[in-house]
Structure 1
Amino acid sequence: MRPGPLVLPDGSAPTAALEVATAHHSAAMLNHSLRAYVWAAALGEAEGVAFDAELLYVAALFHDLGLVPVFDSHTVAFEEAGGHVAAVFAAGPGWTAGRRARLSEVIVRHMWPHVEVSADPEGHLLSRATATEIVGKEADALPADFRAEVLERYPRLDLAERFLACFQAQAARKPGSPAGRAVRSDLAGRMAGNPLDAPA
């Protein structure tokens, strides 16, 4: 089934989150974050997973913010750092403490190898969508014409080179982190086979 039209959440929190992500991410990383939301929402829609679109969207925009030098932490993994930044941000739009904690959880869990959908639908969808984005996992579950539409609106640019360099830097400084484990499990080789980076 083809996903519906590309519609992004609106409102004060999504608008402010996009402003923050745009200010701090490169064009390639910003597009990656937007595509992560679109893939996640499309998977949720296709599989009948009920999810909070606003929560998922803000999490997608912030999920890699911990890779940005000004937010990077020498003490914790990048997804934990990004989760903390997102939780602080979400106080501005007036999110409750519980909702801010959920936002942080979703961001941290996007690096887990598996997130149970019944326990955390947004974390489950974002984890799968980011795997699609980076190594092409489940890319064929999305219709070809839909993939082409999304890639035209949000082109990949130099994402592969930027993302791999970020993860290799994280692995060098934080070898015990999920990013470190990903690099040691041939992230570069798995990224090289991503069908989303294949010529059209």
Structure 2
Amino acid sequence: MDKPAHRTLAGVVVPDTPIVDAAIEHARQHCAPYLFNHVVRSWLFAARLGQLQNVVHDEEVLAVGTLLHDITLNESFAGPRRFEVEGADLARHFAAERGFDRRRAQLIWDSVALNSTPSIALYKESEVALATAGICFDVIGLQYDVIPAAEVSRIVAEFPRMQIKRQFRRCFCHIASTRPETSYDNFIRDFGERFVEGYSAPSVVDLVDAAPFAE
């Protein structure tokens, strides 16, 4: 694979290719402003983590997977599957339509589908692991000390957080209240249990006990 052209965005060297530009625009069109800033910051943090830790990876796959990881995270989400899986299908289709082969498109699917499951994603291929690391960096501060503070400040200054904690809570609680069946095995369950009146998730203990076998 030819090495892509590069440019600098918020002080971070990133690939400058048509599909990356298309992914940025696609995210801009499908994400609320606060969420668009989040996916761009996540991408920049992911790219910088890869550079600082000398992680060999496909820069375009990392860009597309991270930029599109939240295209279904909004208050109009209607399922039927959890938002990460719905988004992963759309992101994979986006990449395949623009010429990515099956393997690269599948890496994007994994990056999106597993973006909120770091206990798995951080141990997958470098592109998936870096995407997850960048997202977790922006959401919960994972590996916060790896990137120099001045670089973090520049990225946040160019792509402000826009009250993301409050915005996330509202969005997650909306999904927990309107599509609870998509939340039982992911982090949205935590928001439902703490903030949504009447929210009740089934216990895996009950599911195992109720399995249709004698023992």
> Do they superpose with TM above 0.5?
yes
Instruction: Give the 3-state SS of the residue equivalent to 1:8 in structure 2.
Output: strand
Does 2:188 match 1:183?
no
2:107, 2:128 within 8 Å by CA — same for their partners in 1?
A: no
Select between 20-29 and 135-144 the one with higher mean Cα deviation. Answer: 135-144
Structure 2 counterpart of 1:106: 111
Larger Rg over CA atoms: 2
Distance in 1, Cα, partners of 2:163 & 2:189? 23
Distance in 2, Cα, partners of 1:185 & 1:120? 33
In structure 1, the gaps of 5 or more residues are 188-200
Select between 28-37 and 127-136 the one with higher mean Cα deviation. Answer: 127-136
Distance in 2, Cα, partners of 1:115 & 1:5? 30
1:170, 1:179 within 8 Å by CA — same for their partners in 2?
A: no
Distance in 1, Cα, partners of 2:121 & 2:109? 16
1:102-181 equivalent positions in 2, closer than 5 A: 102-115=107-120, 119-172=124-177, 173=179, 174-181=182-189
Structure-1-length-normalised TM-score: 0.81
Distance in 1, Cα, partners of 2:53 & 2:120? 15
Structure 1 counterpart of 2:100: 95
The Cα shift of 1:110 comes to 1.3
One-letter code aligned to 1:17: A
Compute the RMSD of aligned alpha carbons: 2.3
Instruction: Give the 3-state SS of the residue equivalent to 2:13 in structure 1.
Output: coil
Ranges of 4+ aligned residues in structure 1 off by more than 6 Å: none
Instruction: Give the 3-state SS of the residue equivalent to 1:140 in structure 2.
Output: coil
Among the aligned pairs, what percent are the same residue?
Answer: 26
The Cα shift of 1:148 comes to 0.9
The Cα shift of 1:120 comes to 1.1
Distance in 1, Cα, partners of 2:58 & 2:23? 16
The Cα shift of 1:186 comes to 6.5
Distance in 2, Cα, partners of 1:63 & 1:182? 20
Does 2:81 match 1:76?
yes
Instruction: Give the 3-state SS of the residue equivalent to 1:65 in structure 2.
Output: coil
1:106, 1:123 within 8 Å by CA — same for their partners in 2?
A: yes
In structure 2, the gaps of 5 or more residues are 1-9, 196-215
